[in-house]
Amino acid sequence: MRNNGMRTLALAAALAACSSLALAQGKEIKIGVIYDYTGPFAAGGSQAAGIGTKIAIDMINEKGGVEGYKVNAIYADAQSKGEVAINEATRLLDQEKVDLIMGVYSSAHCVPMAQKVDAAKKFMWANVCVASSVFKDKKLTHVFRAQVHSDQFGAASCSFLNENAKARLKKDPKNLKVAIIYEDGPYGAGVAEGNEEVCKKYGMQVVLKEGYSATAPDLSSLITKLRRARPDVILHTGYNPDITLFWRQAREQGLKWAALIGHGAGYGQFDKLSQSFGKEAEYIFNVDPVAAQLLDPKTLKPGLGALTQEMVKRYKAETRAEQVPPHVSMGFNQAWIFFTDVMPRAIKKYGGIGPEALRKAALDTDIPVGGTIQGYGVRFFHPGTPMSGQNELSSPVVMQYLGGQTKIVWPSAIKTADPLLPIPKSSAYSNR
């Protein structure tokens, strides 16, 4: 994976260099694109999001750019390290003189980076990181995120359980035992907070809530606590390495459940989980922004279905992958929204691509539900509100891996399959 990531990064850099030469005589917007192309976050979705973003940029430039501006992307590898992410953001702003920062996978990177960029009155467009703490009570003015946020992740899984507890688990929500486990960074802690608040709102019994380091070498003590607590459902937020460790040790120690619901990040990479666990990866639930190709294009603005198909075709051609994870849609969709909605308005209405023009243009964004490839609309909370800069129309879905395919199982209005709940007795993890 490291070799693939470096190859992708090298290719992107070469293309950017060529683009710079070709555009030397014309107008351009220079953007710094930061993802983790190497390290543990790469396989957890960051590399996929980076490729999705690059596909969007390529397509925009093929169409002639934005209002006469070509997009000159400078790609940077955060290496799955917080200090590297911040240093790269500083380098891009101070040395490369980029007009804005785009990308960012890890919420642990995103929180300090957003504050740094905002304090400098530069502009940042966050594509993937979801922690609510990026914005909550931060009073940011020049940072925007059309993506969902972690409070919504936490709420979605509990709302899904509340709707299905009686019919499928044969339990009243008040008798449902739920355990919440999470990597203890801003991302995991944010989702866990949402889990606890909403599950308790529905009267569910939270029998365990515990965080752990994403780099922990052993999770056996956590699994022992889970066995003692005997939850019906486990709500888990983590990245690929710690998820893999948890699942391996859970099987070794005989931990069972009626359902396990993951929340994005490592759980969005079904191909990686299936490589590690084969058929035992079946039946996992995942809360995430939807992989766009799973939506019925008839529910979207005309033309978005074809746009999604082109994204999928290009991703598969570049990676030779069969599965197209949600992170590809995240990276592509967020970039597409910026280049087709925010930036044109900044140029035409506010006179250019400076931070103030981009800020004003973002605040004017009003895309209705069904107006993006991931289905949700876009309208940002304004300054003076607790979540200023966050999209107030974003929403995740609950998906389940069934028969090697990803199915939407919640909300009911757009589901493509009924949830298999509880998981079948044939699973090594079934408590039936």
Which pTM was predicted?
A: 0.83
Sign of CA dihedral 295, 298, 304, 306: positive
Q: Is the pLDDT of residue 7 over 70?
A: no
- Model confidence at 268, in pLDDT bands (50, 70, 90)? confident
Which of these, 363, 380, 293, lies nearest to 328 by C-alpha position? 293
Asked whether 375 and 299 are in contact (CB, 8 A), the reply is yes
Asked whether the domain spanning 151-288+396-414 has the same topology as the one spanning 2-148+296-363, the reply is yes
Fold type of domain 151-288+396-414 = Rossmann fold (3.40.50)
pLDDT at 3: 52
Mind listing the pLDDT tens digit for each residue in 105-121? 999 999 999 999 999 99
Mean pLDDT of 257-280: 85
pLDDT at 323: 84
Mind listing the pLDDT tens digit for each residue in 281-331? 889 999 998 999 999 999 899 999 999 999 999 999 999 988 898 999 999
Which of these, 115, 137, 211, 119, lies nearest to 129 by C-alpha position? 115
Q: What is the mean pLDDT of the chain?
A: 92
CA pair distance 421, 432, nearest whole angstrom: 11
Domain boundaries, the chain: 2-148+296-363, 151-288+396-414
**Choices 1.20.120.1200, 3.40.250.10, 3.40.80.10, 3.40.50.2300: CATH for 2-148+296-363:** 3.40.50.2300
SS3 content of the chain, % helix, strand, coil (to 5): 50, 20, 35
Mind listing the pLDDT tens digit for each residue in 224-239? 999 999 999 999 999 8
CA pair distance 9, 129, nearest whole angstrom: 20
Q: Is the pLDDT of residue 400 over 90?
A: yes
- Model confidence at 264, in pLDDT bands (50, 70, 90)? confident
Mind listing the pLDDT tens digit for each residue in 24-49? 347 999 999 999 999 989 988 999 99
